[in-house]
């Protein structure tokens, strides 16, 4: 075969259905490995003897420019297929000194296990299409040094040192793309603010926004702008002349459709200043709650005078603005900023960019639930009771595509891809098995929320004897999937109950895991605590009871899809974590003592 490579003779794309690593010639015993194909990161499971093996339930598309972390040359892979007359399915083998790697490839994602593409096209996660169009949320943050831009970005997207100086290629410009390995779903463009007489930066920012707005692909366009100011607590002017001119351009629709949100930072400093300035005599006889309300009212009054009125003068009365602090106890201010941004992006940019803003952010779990619902409504959730997409599919394949969409939206720091592992999926599938046992609680009870989950977590944590004690999940992860997961999907009450239960249980387990992980790298220990806590809480049993009660009221399944989606939405929007600050504070101290960052077996 000639060494030259011509894309015109190569089928594109290919699909990877599985791979294996044989290290029998190596003296070392390899316990685990990970494959990375483009954006996909997934573990390679232990096979028989000295091998690692992995089969993808839905074959992974491989384009010629994609990265392959096992150091394959993708051009070399594509040479294997040659012209269109070659067989549909082949194996690519790569031999090294002590091990051999085999990748199973096909031209068609559905050419696997004897299935024809016309009969069984692969189930594609809805999030795959979103990521294809908009792989990252692209944001421009403008603000002078010291306003707290770095803290704002780190907190909003759950990363550390998003704009660290050691990542900058010399003097970084507005075109430089800051990204983070801790969260690959956003890209940041950074700009200094508009200093007095700073005409140059004004022109640079205006030109950048204009250029990005004209780019044809959504992934390259700018999706939002945060214009940041530090609240002037002790007097001083909020807006400089150049900033006033910039806001006027936005008011007059001369900056295009890109949403601009004014972010007023360091709200906690304003609260401290107001507290300091209030005379003690004005607070005598007031309760702590009343004192806090008095301080907040005074702070809001100051904000109106020193911030909101100047903004209205130049930006108009409808300029979106958010008052934020990245300090503890001010989490709701960051959630408000994220919600405001998501709404504007959805209204003025696109649904895909809006979805990616929800996926990228790591401050608002309720928005994660909302986005999971929106993604589900696009395709798979809206017809669970009579799904044509699931017909002739194994239930396991149906669950896999639902699982992938939900986990993708939550966007945890999951380097080892634990949440997509067969072990975690087994935990979730076997949790659904309890539906077969019968009613789990009084069907007339309302859904329990809040403190029961906090109590469940606290009870498990307090029973541990420190960071060395393993967390026991009362559903064995080592056993095989339940038999029903290997059956073919059919329209029935039983199947509908299982799909509903899986969607809701998974979402609420991830909501619990969000509270436990606090944007840290996930460990199996943390995931097991989330699963065990959810299962031990009253919420878990009540959800299953409500699903059983709902199902008994259904007469004709074919007309149940709309009502089913409403019921899923109702059950998913439960707020699991009580807002009792004292109880939460004590619980976090207990959690820290059991070492959730350490690893342990499933």
Give the confidence band of 68 by pLDDT, cuts at 50, 70, 90: low
Query: Where is average pLDDT lowest: 83-87, 252-256, 556-560, 589-593?
Result: 83-87
Alpha carbons 38 and 69: distance in angstroms, whole number: 9
Rounded to 10 deg, the angle between the 351-360 and 395-410 helix axes is 80
Judge if 78 and 138 occupy the same domain. no
Query: Which residue among 122, 148, 180 closes a domain?
Result: 122
Q: Is position 370 within any domain? A: no
Residues 6+ apart with CB under 8 A from 97: 25
DSSP reduced 3-state for 442? coil
Looking at the structure, tell me whether residues 353 and 298 fall in a common domain: yes
**Which pTM does this prediction carry?**
0.78
For residue 229, being part of any structural domain is answered with yes
What pLDDT, on a 0 to 100 scale, did the predictor assign at position 242?
76
Question: Is residue 147 domain-shared with residue 118, that is, in the same domain?
Answer: no
- What are the tens digits of pLDDT across the range 412-456? 999 999 999 988 999 999 888 877 544 444 433 333 334 578 888
Q: Are residues 401 and 328 in the same domain?
A: no
Task: Give residue for tokens 């059991």.
Answer: 594
Strand-pair partners of 18: 55, 104
pLDDT in tens, 381-405: 988 887 888 988 889 999 999 999 9
Residue 94 lies in a domain: yes
Whether the Cβ atoms of residue 87 and residue 357 lie closer than 8 Å to each other? no
* Percent of the chain surpassing pLDDT 90: 38
Q: Which of 104, 122, 140 is the last residue of a domain?
A: 122
Residues 98 and 134 in one domain: no
- 111 and 133 part of one domain: no
**SS3 helix, strand, coil % of the chain, rounded to 5?**
45, 15, 40
Number of domains in the chain: 3
Q: What is the pLDDT of residue 196?
A: 67
pLDDT in tens, 125-168: 999 999 999 999 999 999 988 899 999 999 999 998 765 444 44
Does residue 598 lie within any of the structural domains? no
The domain of 263 spans 129-363
Task: Please name the residues in contact with 4: beta carbons below 8 A apart, sequence gap of 6 or more.
Answer: none
User: What is the total residue count of the chain?
Assistant: 602
* Inside any domain, residue 162: yes
CA-CA distance, 18 to 57, in Å (whole number)?
9
Query: Angle of helix 288-303 relative to helix 267-277, nearest 10 degrees?
Result: 110
Kindly state whether residues 109 and 133 are assigned to the same domain: no
As a whole number, mean pLDDT of residues 296-318 equals 86
Query: Diameter of the chain by CA atoms?
Result: 91
Residue 375 lies in a domain: no
Using pLDDT thresholds of 50, 70 and 90, give the confidence band for residue 584.
Answer: confident
Same-domain status, 148 and 115: no
Distances 592 to 210, 326, 454, 467 between C-alpha atoms, Å: 48, 21, 15, 9
Taking all residues of the chain, what is their mean pLDDT, rounded to a whole number?
Answer: 81
Q: Give the position of tokens 């949790």.
A: 431
155 and 78 share one domain: no
Read off the DSSP letter of residue 108: S
Considering the domain boundaries, does residue 374 fall inside one? no
CATH value at residue 355: 3.40.50.300
Do residue 281 and residue 409 come from a single domain? no
> In this predicted model, what pLDDT tens digit does every residue of 190-229 receive, in sequence order?
998 887 665 788 889 999 999 999 999 999 999 999 999 9
Q: Which of 97, 122, 147 is the last residue of a domain?
A: 122
Q: Is the pLDDT of residue 110 over 50?
A: no
302 with 394, same domain: the answer is no
Residue 88 makes CB contacts below 8 A (sequence gap 6+) with 106, 107, 108, 111
In the chain, count H helices and then E strands: 19, 12
Domain shared by 117 and 133, yes or no = no
Least confident of 72-76, 134-138, 247-251, 350-354: 72-76
The pLDDT of residue 444 is 38
Mean pLDDT across the stretch 465-489?
75
């Amino acid at each position: 075969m000639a060494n030259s490579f011509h894309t015109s003779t190569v089928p594109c794309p290919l699909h990877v259905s599985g791979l294996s690593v044989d290290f029998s010639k190596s003296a070392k015993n390899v316990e685990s490995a990970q494959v990375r194909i483009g954006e996909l990161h997934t573990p390679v499971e232990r096979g028989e003897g000295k091998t690692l093996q992995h089969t993808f339930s839905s074959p992974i598309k491989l384009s010629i420019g994609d990265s392959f972390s096992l150091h394959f040359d993708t051009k070399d892979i594509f040479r294997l297929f040659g012209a269109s007359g070659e067989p549909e399915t082949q194996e690519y083998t790569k031999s090294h000194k002590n091990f051999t790697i085999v990748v199973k490839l096909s031209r068609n994602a559905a050419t696997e296990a004897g299935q024809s593409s016309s009969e069984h096209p692969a189930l594609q996660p809805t999030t795959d299409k979103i990521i294809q169009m908009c792989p990252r949320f692209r944001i421009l943050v403008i603000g002078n040094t010291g306003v707290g831009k770095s803290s704002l970005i780190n907190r909003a997207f759950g990363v550390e040192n998003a704009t660290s100086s050691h990542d900058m290629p010399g003097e970084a410009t507005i075109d430089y793309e800051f990204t983070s390995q801790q969260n690959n779903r956003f890209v940041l463009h950074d700009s200094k603010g508009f200093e007095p007489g700073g005409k140059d930066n004004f022109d640079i920012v205006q030109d950048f926004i204009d250029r990005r707005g004209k780019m044809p692909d959504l992934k390259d366009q700018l999706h939002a702008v945060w214009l940041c100011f530090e609240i002037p607590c002790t007097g001083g002017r909020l807006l400089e002349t150049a900033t006033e001119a910039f806001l006027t351009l936005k008011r007059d629709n001369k900056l295009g459709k890109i949403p601009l949100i004014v972010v007023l930072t360091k709200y906690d400093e304003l609260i401290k200043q107001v507290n300091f300035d209030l005379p003690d005599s004005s607070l005598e006889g007031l309760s702590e709650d009343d004192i806090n309300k008095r301080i907040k009212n005074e702070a809001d009054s100051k904000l109106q005078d020193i911030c909101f009125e100047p903004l209205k003068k130049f930006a108009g009365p409808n300029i979106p603005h958010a008052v934020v602090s990245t300090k503890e106890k001010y989490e709701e201010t960051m959630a408000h900023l994220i919600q405001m941004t998501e709404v504007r992006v959805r209204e003025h940019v696109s649904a895909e960019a809006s979805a990616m803003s929800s996926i990228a952010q790591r401050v608002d779990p309720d928005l994660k639930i909302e986005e999971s619902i929106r993604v589900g409504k696009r395709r798979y959730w809206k017809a669970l009771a009579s799904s044509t997409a699931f017909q002739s599919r194994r239930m396991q394949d149906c669950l896999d595509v639902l699982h992938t969409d939900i986990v993708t939206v939550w966007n945890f720091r999951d380097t080892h891809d634990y949440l997509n592992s067969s072990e975690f999926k087994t935990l979730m599938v076997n949790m659904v098995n309890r539906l077969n046992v019968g009613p789990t609680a009084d069907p007339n009870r309302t859904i329990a929320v809040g403190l029961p989950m906090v109590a469940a977590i606290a009870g498990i944590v307090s029973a541990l004897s420190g960071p060395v004690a393993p967390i026991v999940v009362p559903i064995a992860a080592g056993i095989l999937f339940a038999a029903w997961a290997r059956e073919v999907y059919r329209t029935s009450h039983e199947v509908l109950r299982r799909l509903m239960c899986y969607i809701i249980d998974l979402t609420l387990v991830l909501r619990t895991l969000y509270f436990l992980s606090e944007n840290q790298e996930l460990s199996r220990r943390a995931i097991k605590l989330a699963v065990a806590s959810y299962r031990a809480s009253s919420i878990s049993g009540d959800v299953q009871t409500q699903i059983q009660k709902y199902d008994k009221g259904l007469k004709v399944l074919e007309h149940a899809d709309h009502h089913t989606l409403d019921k899923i939405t109702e059950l998913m929007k439960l707020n699991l974590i009580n807002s009792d600050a004292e109880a939460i504070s004590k619980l976090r101290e207990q959690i820290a003592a059991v070492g959730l960052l350490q690893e342990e077996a499933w």
